[in-house]
Structure 1
Amino acid sequence: MNSTSALPCPRPPVKLLYRLPLPLLELGLVVSWSSGFIGARFSIDYAPALLVVFWRCVLVTLALLPFVIGTLKSTPLVVLLKNAGIGLLAMSGYLLGVVQGVALGVPAGLAALLADLLPVGMALLAAGVLGQRLHWSVWAGLGIGLVGVVVVAHDALALGNAPLWAYGLPLLGMASLAVATLWQKRLQAHESLGLLGNLWLQCAVSAVAFGAVVASQGSLLPLPTTGFALSVLWTATLATLGGYGLYWLCVKRSSPTRVASVLYLSPAVTLLWAWAVFDEPLSWLMLVGTAVSAVGVWLVVRGEASAR
């Protein structure tokens, strides 16, 4: 039995999510995943980026603990370690790669574009490492979707002045999330902690990882400002609980390649967030790129349906 089998019975509020149509969950995923970039941009005016990430992990860990402590106590240590490894790759590896790349001078637009190679990276790993055969329209959709992302982000792209090796950090972050996703998908049903348990453990181990990095650079104490508090609340609820929660739920309901391809739409939604929150202008080029990405996602979904 693999991870597509039923997870341990979730609590009623979470159980409702399992009943929603997959396209609706994917829409929520795109909106919440995109919110993380807006939260990161908002937070840099108030605190170091990694300090916000550290406290967002701490907040989610504390908030979810009462709901998962029973599951954690009854789970074998080896299962906890497996899920902890997935969490380090999915959350710590991904965020450290993207955030540190930007901190070293990689332009945010280029870092986001490199991170958005996730669908391609996922497909290459699935085909090359796991030996999965993907329909030709899946490969075509991944390529077309990437073209759309480049068009959407065209105005935000620049090379910057970062050290050459720093440009590899967002790519490593992307690869880290891809490996974690495929690892999570291959877990046996009895090795899963359920949605809330997985989120708790991933945030707990990531809090330790980010805490070590932040402590080496300065203080771990939260800043007593409204801007800092709002940054932590925004990213903890929308980006972590919403983004990662819906990501793992969609991965359980469909394939990693499909879920990753849906995230091709996140740059366009991020720009809509930026327009609504920061009053940034929109352009017809963004609309064209979004339409191209949507065609790519449709081809991926169609190709995966044909392969069944």
Structure 2
Amino acid sequence: MNVLLSLAFVLTWSSGFIGAKLGAGSAGAVTVLMWRFLPLALVLAVVALTLARASWRGLTARDIGRQAAVGALSQSGYLLTVYYAIQLGVSSGTTALIDGTQPLVAGALAGPLLGQFVSRTQWIGLGLGVSGVVIVTAADFAGGGDTAWWAYLVPFLGMLSLVAATFLDRRSARPVRPAVSMTVHCATSAVIFTALAVAAGAATPPAERSFWVAIGWLVTLSTFGGYGLYWLILRRSGVTQVNTLMFLMAPVTALWGALMFGEPFGPQTVLGLAIGLAAVVVVRRGERPRGAAGPAGRVTAESERTAPRARTAR
């Protein structure tokens, strides 16, 4: 996996937690999410009808419906829980830390669902990553103040939603170009969040400048950057590789939170970052060569799935 691409993904994906914190100071979750996706969906729709019309050729209603379901899970379900947890008082770093358990869940399911079996060395790396998450989460929970204990369970729902979206997308028989998937995902989220905001009477945006700064931050860095790179790396390198990078989100987000919001960043967070980096290195070293047979003689997903889709992602 390209190192610069991975670095850009970690920075832009973690920016979403910071953007959620920025937006939470001036509006509710559904208001921020509605105005994050509604203008973006309109722009992408115009581009799809003019500059990117060729990308839609050959796609069926079933293909579009699958992408709508992926978008509902990976954007609507995932983001709503992240924003809600932060509004409940869970720090941006801790929310990212809880989401950091995603690689373990994805790794456990990759074999039976996709035939992408995880090697022993990769399991060791995944275990290291979870250890880093536990270390930093424990430190942040201890200083969580008046935040209810059940608020820390909310991000787990978002993590499961993103895992479900990842596997739903990878089981698709027909590759979909990034321009198409991004447009469908954002349009789906725009519809869902607009409906929720209108139903809650929260569709009117606040007049504060900070609100629109947060929206610009989220659209530019988080959606085009983090979300776009997630699917690009997923298609090029597979589930285990992209999800291992999630171990780095928590400490990086915690550092951002400390610098921008004064959230705690102590020795345990530093230790968690070091363990997360070690986890990424171990998982990459444990990657089987392309075409190598996994358990039961199955060919690994690097040769069966990643190679064909890498060409469409470029």
Q: Report TM bin, short chain.
A: 0.7 to 0.9
Q: Using a 3 Å threshold, how does the CA distance of structure 1 residues 76 and 133 change in structure 2: closer, same or farther?
A: closer
1:240 alignment partner, one of 186, 207, 223 = 223
TM-score by length of 1: 0.83
Does residue 182 (structure 1) correspond to residue 167 (structure 2)? The answer is yes
- Residue 68 of structure 2 corresponds to 84
Determine if contact 2:93/2:253 at 8 Å carries over to the other structure: no
Unaligned runs of 5+ in 1: 1-20
SS at match of 2:118: coil
Does residue 55 (structure 1) correspond to residue 35 (structure 2)? The answer is yes
- Residue 300 of structure 2 corresponds to none
Does residue 173 (structure 1) correspond to residue 158 (structure 2)? The answer is yes
- Residue 143 of structure 1 corresponds to 127
- Residue 97 of structure 1 corresponds to 81
Determine if contact 1:97/1:169 at 8 Å carries over to the other structure: yes
Amino acid at match of 1:66: V
Q: CA RMSD in A?
A: 2.5
Determine if contact 1:138/1:299 at 8 Å carries over to the other structure: yes
Does residue 292 (structure 1) correspond to residue 275 (structure 2)? The answer is yes
SS at match of 1:157: helix
Q: After superposition, where does 1:268-287 map in structure 2 within 5 Å? A: 268-278=251-261, 282-287=265-270
Amino acid at match of 1:214: A
2:186 alignment partner, one of 190, 203, 227 = 203
Does residue 119 (structure 1) correspond to residue 99 (structure 2)? The answer is no
Aligned residues between the structures: 285
- Residue 301 of structure 1 corresponds to 284
Give, in whole Å, the separation in 2 of the partners of 1:219 and 1:49.
9
Q: How far off is 1:126 after superposition?
A: 1.1
Determine if contact 2:98/2:133 at 8 Å carries over to the other structure: no
Determine if contact 1:137/1:300 at 8 Å carries over to the other structure: yes
Q: After superposition, where does 1:35-54 map in structure 2 within 5 Å? A: 35-54=15-34
Q: Using a 3 Å threshold, how does the CA distance of structure 1 residues 198 and 73 change in structure 2: closer, same or farther?
A: closer
Q: Using a 3 Å threshold, how does the CA distance of structure 1 residues 155 and 180 change in structure 2: closer, same or farther?
A: same
Q: After superposition, where does 1:205-224 map in structure 2 within 5 Å? A: 205-224=188-207
Amino acid at match of 1:174: M
Q: Using a 3 Å threshold, how does the CA distance of structure 1 residues 103 and 293 change in structure 2: closer, same or farther?
A: same
TM-score by length of 2: 0.81
Give, in whole Å, the separation in 2 of the partners of 1:157 and 1:178.
24
SS at match of 1:304: coil
Determine if contact 2:114/2:171 at 8 Å carries over to the other structure: no
Determine if contact 2:99/2:156 at 8 Å carries over to the other structure: yes
Q: How far off is 1:153 after superposition?
A: 3.9
Does residue 227 (structure 1) correspond to residue 237 (structure 2)? The answer is no
Which runs of structure 1 show a deviation greater than 6 angstroms over 4 or more consecutive aligned residues?
Answer: none
Determine if contact 1:135/1:303 at 8 Å carries over to the other structure: yes
SS at match of 2:287: helix
Give, in whole Å, the separation in 2 of the partners of 1:51 and 1:239.
17
SS at match of 1:81: helix
> Which deviates more, 257-266 or 153-162?
153-162
- Residue 33 of structure 1 corresponds to 13
Q: Using a 3 Å threshold, how does the CA distance of structure 1 residues 242 and 68 change in structure 2: closer, same or farther?
A: same
> Which deviates more, 39-48 or 65-74?
65-74
Q: Using a 3 Å threshold, how does the CA distance of structure 1 residues 235 and 50 change in structure 2: closer, same or farther?
A: same
Unaligned runs of 5+ in 2: 293-314
Give, in whole Å, the separation in 2 of the partners of 1:43 and 1:306.
44
- Residue 7 of structure 1 corresponds to none
Q: How far off is 1:73 after superposition?
A: 6.0
| Residues 4-46 of structure 1, C-alpha deviations (whole Å, 9 max, x = no match) | xxxxxxxxxxxxxxxxx62211110000011111111111111
